[in-house]
Structures are given as C-alpha cells and as structure tokens.
Structure 1
Amino acid sequence: MNASLIQGKIHTDTRGILRFFNDFDMSLVKRFYVTEQLDTSIVRGWQGHKKEQKWFYVVNGTFKLILVKPDDWENPSENLPFEEFILEASANRVINIPPGIATGFQALEQPSKMIIFSDLTLEESVNDDFRFEKNLWYKW
C-alpha cells in the first residue's frame, strides 16, 4: 500500500529530552489535528481519501493502525487485504499514508494521543472524505 515510516531521533542531556524528525518534509502539510483516545474499546474508522495524504505521529501511548486500499469507493469488496501497524510513542516514528488508502485505528492503552497531519485544507478534505462500516475489512 506504500505507507512509509519515518524514523525520528532522540537526544537526551541534562536539559531533558528532544525528539526530532529531520527527515520529515513538512512542506506539503496544510493542517493538523490531535486525537486523544481515553477509551481503548473505541475504534476510529474507517475513513479514506482518494486525494488526501496524511502523516500520523503518536505523542503518548500506543495505537493499532490498519490500512486498506478500497477497490471501489462507493461499494468496496469486503475481503480486501490490510496492513497492520503498531505505533508507540516510545518508537518515535511518523507513518505516511498516501492517497487512496482507508484507515482505522484504536488506542491500545490509556491515555493515547496522536497528531495527524494532512496535505489538504479542511474545505478540500470534505469533498474527499469516504466513510465505511468499522468491521468491513477488519474484526476489531
């Protein structure tokens, strides 16, 4: 599905801890938002975009992220292959989700917080937003 991981670095000294992502080119980012999951039974998904690209960064806790490439955006097949990622704040990684992918995610511990970056404005994204039933491709 062509998702890619960007590994960050961590520097620690007497002043504290610095987490950085010098390899994350943010020139395409137009907005970001933060989701904080306080209940591990909640699943956020499925949401997909034909044009929008996103990047996910876990600030606190752990998330399970599932990716699916819909074969039809109006009436997708049920048994499509998926990719599963476990994203932990301690791993200090950003995952890039290219256009054409649907995502679903669930916090695996409380509290968990994730920043999601987008390359479209909210107005542009509204016309590129596809929602699907949560158990369509993956049995949470």
Structure 2
Amino acid sequence: MNVELIQGNRFADSRGELDFFNSFDLTEIVRMYRIKPANTDIIRAWQGHRQEEKWFYCLSGSFVVNLLPLSEFTGDSVGNSPQIYTLQADLQQILRIPGGYVNGFRATDSNSELLVFSNMTLEDSKADDYRFDLKDRPFTDQY
C-alpha cells in the first residue's frame, strides 16, 4: 500500500464548526494517542514499522512529516529523498502511513497536537518497532 492523504471537510454555521472524515474507515484502528511537543525545536525521528500502519491527524497547529521506506535504514536502498507532508489543523487531512515506512516529524507552530491512530496493540507494535538515530539521516522541512 502507498502513503495516502485522506481528505476531510468542514461544515460551519452559527453553532460553530464540524470537521468530518466520512471516507476514513476506522475498522482497522486498535488504539490512538495524542502527541503534543514541548516546542517547535523538537524533532521526533526516526521510527517505523514493517507491519503496523499509522494515521496522523493534526488536531491543532501544524506539523511537517518526513517519510522514508524502512529499507533506507536497513541497507537495502540508500539515497532517496524523503516524502514530505505538511499537516495543518485547518486543512482536515489524515496522513495514512502504511507498514514499511519510517517517519520523523516536527511541530511548526507552538501548541500543535497530533492525533495518531494505529492498527496494532501496543505489545504488537513494540515487537514491530524500528528506531534510528536522527544522526543516521537528516530531517528536512524542505520539499
């Protein structure tokens, strides 16, 4: 499967706003968690999974996300530029990251929050966890 941006939408009237993702199928979701970085200098990179899929939704603020095939770190392939995505709370987008990718991300606005959905239990995720030092591969905000 490929990386995918799932587009949502927003409805607004005198009562307020409603963001919705009618095409986001939640049947695979097992757990979710929220990440709120302490500041915009923190880069969380590199972590990935061979099997686990994740979905990133920006609740507030914005994030830049770098994605690379896991093979970039295991020696099967070297030198590809990362796929770079910008997630903003006001764009109503969910980034689907299939297994076989590592990710890195950084908040680009203070008080940014990222909601992460996973298709694996925490125990299964830990058994499928690959982590690499940020020194192993630079993170970029540039396309």
Find the aligned partners of 2:53 and 2:46 in 1 and give their Cα distance: 15
Find the aligned partners of 2:10 and 2:93 in 1 and give their Cα distance: 11
125-134 or 72-81, which deviates more: 72-81
Find the aligned partners of 2:30 and 2:83 in 1 and give their Cα distance: 26
Find the aligned partners of 1:81 and 1:136 in 2 and give their Cα distance: 14
Q: How far 1:13 moved relative to its partner?
A: 1.1
Q: How far 1:75 moved relative to its partner?
A: 4.9
Find the aligned partners of 1:129 and 1:76 in 2 and give their Cα distance: 18
Give the equivalent residue in structure 2 for 1:100: 100
Give the equivalent residue in structure 2 for 1:67: 67
Give the equivalent residue in structure 1 for 2:57: 57
Find the aligned partners of 1:5 and 1:72 in 2 and give their Cα distance: 22
Contact residue 10 and residue 19 of structure 1 kept, 8 A:
yes
Q: Which runs of 5+ in 1 are unaligned?
A: none
Structure 1 runs of 4+ aligned residues shifted over 3 Å read 72-78
Relative to structure 1, the CA distance from residue 76 to residue 109 in structure 2 (aligned partners, 3 Å threshold; closer, same or farther) is farther
Give the structure-1-normalised TM-score: 0.93
Q: Which runs of 5+ in 2 are unaligned?
A: none
Q: Percent identity?
A: 37
Find the aligned partners of 2:63 and 2:76 in 1 and give their Cα distance: 25
Give the equivalent residue in structure 2 for 1:136: 136
RMSD, aligned CA: 1.7
Q: How far 1:72 moved relative to its partner?
A: 6.2
